[in-house]
Amino acid sequence: MQLKIGFMLLCFFCLFSCQDNERQSEIPQVQNGIINLTNVKFENHTILTLSGDWDFFWQKLITPTSSTDLVPSVIPIQNNNSENKTTFMKIGKRWKDIHSGTGFATYQVKMILPDTSMEEPFAIRFLQTGGAAIKVFVDGNLSLSLGKVGKTKEAMIPTRSSGIIVLPYGQKQINLTVHISNYYHDDGSFWYPPKLGKYRDIQNEYVKEITFDSLLTGALFFMAFYHFLLFFFRRNRSLILFFGLFSLTTALHSISLNGDILYHLIPNVPYRIAFSLSLIFYLAMPFYLSFLAQLYPNQFSKKFIQIFSSICFLLYLAVVLLPTELGSQTTFFGIFFTISGLLYSIVSLTRSAIKKQELALSLLIIQVFILISAINDTLNLYGLFQHILVLKYSYLSTVLFQSLILASFFTKTFIKNETLKNELTKLNESLEQVVVARTKEYREAKQIAEEANQWKDKFISLVAHDLRSPLSTVYSALTLTYDEDTPKEEKDHISKQIFVILENAMSTVEHLLNLNRFQLDKGQIHLDLTENNVAESVKQVIETFALELQKKSIQIEITVSDSAQIYADKSILNEIIRNLIANAIKFSHPNGKIVVSFSETVAESTISIRDYGTGISLEQKSRIFTDPIPSQGTFGEKGFGIGLKLCYELMRLQNGNIRVESEITQGSLFLLEFPKRNPS
């Protein structure tokens, strides 16, 4: 869709260009101050331009003559160098090319009209020329006055308006004399050739042009007002402000493109204001680049735009502050920087379009069309060739295209709002159910927390009770060792018993500390997950149980290869193995056996610890990891079951799992299942 619109815009420009070239090649031009239109058929709204070589009198206001008088072909003109100059000058050629930039002169042309001029009146339209004042005489009679012609700057009053004169009806030969003075613009002379045609065609073209330019200017002002209003409610979006300023500057410049609109609105507008408005386009490109930079910050250089904008603002400040004839000398630089800004925006938008950023292709097409229009109108302004002025059409296309983009944007926003509204309605309908569900979850979480707190209190009470008993025994035993009557053999035996009692007490304390670390604050634990050698960890833990194994004459068989690896926290892994080995020793019979093995699949690694002791009942097995029941070992060892609950919490902490397979009198098999390391 975007490519089709861009192709249509380019074809639109080429169509006007080709039609204009075709007309220019067919119509006659002024030669040596005379134009013969006898063979021209003014049909189908034909309007031609009086371009070509007019009789020219520099620094002279020649007395107007009638068509019956002879117009001299060569008159010597004196300048500062006292050189003779040709009396013929093309309309559009600047005075500073052959004389000085400002001054006054007379243009004359003798027209031979076709027979159709006897049927209905003809008219000539004189277009605006910045900084100039014009008087037009038809056969010696004053027919049009634009501004006030004078031989000095103080004596003249410039204007930017155009005008229409009606030629005498029924007369085939017309002598046209134009007095023009220009002291307010560096580029003096006629800028654009007058247009000749039937009066009704000239009038219709004028009305259409005024109507079109008024609509264009109104649309631009509306766009500016709309974006300023939108920015008032959304001040965090500076791109809206920049596009509003761009629309405002182009609207003000659009008024100057057809000065008649401005003079219709403000009849007595000072020329300086009209001149300043004509060059306000210096500011349009900085605002538009700032707008694009907000859309695509990664493709536009903020520093470049700041420097570019500063230069353009300084140029326009010179236009406002300096005399108009000096300010007009900035026109070339203003056009140069405007076209440079267009080229920069096209390069940046091309990068955005390649990356398929939103709206980039649409804006790129607009920029290309504006660039072509600006180059065309610039060449036309400097008289390099006569083309139709298309910059105002590019303004219109920009406004229309932006309207389409905004309509698309607002449509998407509207659809999104409707979707959100429907989703919100559904959410409101299910809000009560969600609240009920969340309330239930909160109650369950509260119950779990209360149960955990109760378990903690019970655990601390049991451990405190369990610690008091061994400490009392140790105290009594130490008292005996200090008794001189106690035999040495008995003292040695008591010392060994004290060592065993203290070792068990330390194990109980370690359980308490580990539970406080891993269960109560597990949400804040930092895990150091690494690859661990299973055989090394198992052997390291078993060494700490040498005394217990010796007491019960229990044999441990390790069937783990030296290359077996587990991905886990090493300290947590050792703690889990230590608890399960201690549990296996506790419930094994004398001369029993414990087997530690290892297996793995693609997804997980498993450590198995099997004993052949008392086994676990079905009731105990269902709650062994969540609600342990205190039980005694085969040698009357006491415990509270907290070791298995701790193992359960530690395995969950590492996203692992612990299972048990057991029957009464058949021993138990504990399985530790660790997930393997994620390759990513």
Which pLDDT score, from 0 to 100, does residue 4 have? Answer: 41
pLDDT confidence tier of residue 637, bands split at 50, 70 and 90:
confident
Region of poorest pLDDT, from 202-206, 324-328, 462-466: 462-466
Q: pLDDT at position 163, please?
A: 92
Tell whether the torsion through CA atoms of 564, 565, 570 and 573 is positive or negative.
negative
Average pLDDT of the chain is: 80
| DSSP H helix total and E strand total for the chain | 17, 18
**For position 292, what pLDDT does the model report?**
86
Q: What pLDDT score does 674 carry?
A: 94
Higher pLDDT pick, 180 / 635: 180
pLDDT digit string, tens, across residues 316-333? 999 999 998 899 889 889
| Beta strands, E only, 59-172 | 88-90, 103-112, 122-126, 132-138, 141-146, 163-166
Q: With b meaning 16 or more CB within 10 Å and e meaning fewer, what string describes 69-82?
A: eebeeebebeeeee
Share of the chain above pLDDT 70, in %: 79
Report residue 629 CA to chain centroid gap: 64
**Tens digits of residue pLDDT in 42-65:** 877 788 889 889 999 999 999 887
The enclosing H or E element of 197 equals strand 195-198
For residue range 362-382, what is the model confidence (pLDDT) as tens digits? 788 888 878 887 777 777 666
Q: How far is CA 676 from CA 165, 358, 526, 672, in A?
A: 95, 44, 19, 13
Q: Are 117 and 171 in contact (CB under 8 A)?
A: yes
Residues 6+ apart with CB under 8 A from 618: none
Within a 10 A sphere around the Cβ of 85, how many other Cβ atoms? 16
Task: Give tens-digit pLDDT for 524-546.
Answer: 456 788 999 999 999 888 877 77
pTM attached to this predicted model: 0.56
β-strand 555-559 against 593-600: which pairing, if any?
parallel
d(CA 332, CA 489): 117
Answer yes or no: is pLDDT of 137 > 70. yes
pLDDT at 3 over 50: no
Of 373 and 193, the structure prediction assigns the larger pLDDT to 193
**How high is the pLDDT of residue 43?**
77
**Is 25's pLDDT higher than 60?**
no
Q: Please, what is the Cα angle at 575 between 569 and 579, to 5 degrees?
A: 145
What is the bridge-based pairing of β-strands 604-611 and 132-138? unpaired
222-255 burial string, b = 16+ CB within 10 Å, else e?
Answer: ebbeebbebbeeeeeeeebbbbbbbbbbbbbbbb
What was the pLDDT predicted at 522?
43
Beginning with the edge strand found earlier in the chain, give each strand of the sheet holding 163-166 in spatial order.
47-49, 195-198, 122-126, 163-166
Calpha distance 143→126 (Å, rounded)? 12
- How does DSSP classify residue 258? S
pLDDT at 667 over 80: yes
Whether the per-residue pLDDT at 169 is higher than 60: the answer is yes
In tens, the pLDDT along 469-495 reads: 567 667 776 776 776 777 777 777 777
**Residues, the chain:** 680
Give yes or no for residue 78 having a pLDDT over 60: no
Among 86-95, 128-137, 446-455, 609-618, the minimum mean pLDDT is found in 446-455
pLDDT band at 238 (very low <50, low <70, confident <90, very high): confident
534-563 CB burial, b ≥16 within 10 A, e <16 = bbebbeebbeebeebbeebebebeeebeee
Would the pLDDT of 566 be above 80?
yes
Model pLDDT, residue 41: 83
Is residue 520 predicted with pLDDT exceeding 50? Answer: no
Q: Kindly indicate the confidence band of residue 504, based on its pLDDT and cuts at 50, 70 and 90.
A: low
Beta bridge partners of 137: 142, 177
The mean per-residue pLDDT over the stretch 134-151 comes to: 93
Give me the residue label for tokens 């000095």: 152
pLDDT on residue 22: 42
191 to 46, 130, 262, 381: CA distances (angstroms) = 22, 8, 19, 7
pLDDT at 572 over 80: yes
* Distance from C-alpha of 651 to C-alpha of 116, rounded to nearest angstrom: 107
Residue type, 408: S
Q: Which residue has the higher pLDDT, 180 or 230?
A: 180
Which is higher by pLDDT, 517 or 593? 593
**Could you tell me the pLDDT band of residue 71, with boundaries at 50, 70 and 90?**
very low
pLDDT at 406: 56
Q: What is the pLDDT of residue 233?
A: 80
* Cα–Cα distance for residue pair 369/415, rounded to 1 Å: 32
Q: What's the whole-number mean pLDDT along residues 236-243?
A: 80
b/e per residue 646-677 (b: at least 16 CB within 10 A): bbbbbbebbebebeeebeeeebbbbebbbeee
